[in-house]
Structure 1
Amino acid sequence: MVLDTVMTTLHVLVGALWVGSVVFVAGVVLPAATGGALDAAPLETIADRLVYFSRGASVVMLLTGGHLAGTGYTVASLTGSARGHLVLAMLGLWFVFTALVEIGRGRLVDGLREKRVRAPASAATGVFRAAAGVGALLLVDAGLLSSGIVLY
């Protein structure tokens, strides 16, 4: 019981911080860079830290989510219930979220290494906005799971 509580808390906390950091980059950092308020070096540092955090968060989410799914569901309940479908949808959304962060960082850093800022920031903005949208869907999914509204 205590282990499940710790895993749930860690899962929700890391997930919220991860989504929040991507939303911050999409909504604050990249628009500032596109407007010329950031230089290449600090923007590259932000992109690198975001992707390192994203990779670490992916591992934490996989381990904690795997534990929670393994102790709370069977294969039949994952594939045959509404709650199971929400868990599987969350897994798929996490993969898409992770991929979008990696793609966005790649688009951003490629141009930053050439000491350009506005064009790479503009190129990465759409990908990070898409990631932020997927992150919002993840949080809605988590809310539905934690609310208990969806029982079967």
Structure 2
Amino acid sequence: MKLTGIALLFLMIIGRCSSTTVSSEERTLGDPLTIRTGTSFGMCVGYCVKDYVLKVTAVDLTMLSRSKTQTSPKSCQKTIDQTSWDSLKTLADLDAFSKQPERLGCPDCADGGAEYIELQRGDQKHRVTFEYGQTIPGFESLVDALRSQRKAFDECP
């Protein structure tokens, strides 16, 4: 009887340790992917540079001005749902993305603007800068998904 009780207790402990439930804090620490994206315009008034950093379910936006009268940057943060983050992670194939050139076209030539996407996992990172409104061949879905995220979070209060 004692042996059966000990065996059941042991099985319960082992079953508890193999639980697949992961807290959001554990997910944040265990997910090394960082996605950076943004836009910039050389000749503009106001906040001409917008940089976004996406990591797990947090999005940080930093807005910078090139104007001498409006020099203080603005920063703010919002959250995105886990499903959106998982979708972005699926589209963010760093190995394939690293094969892209660092510059596509002529970003911000004739004040047309520039966009960039940077993927980082641990020490490996790659950034591609391209013409505003254009795309990265083979990564159209990632570009569109990140544009949607930027559009949904376009300004700091």
Q: TM-score range by the shorter chain?
A: under 0.3
Q: Which has the higher helix share?
A: 1
Q: TM-score, normalised by structure 1?
A: 0.25
Q: TM-score, normalised by structure 2?
A: 0.25
Q: Which has the higher strand share?
A: 2
Between the two structures, name the one with larger relative contact order (CA 8 Å, sep ≥ 6): 1
Q: Name the larger-Rg structure.
A: 2
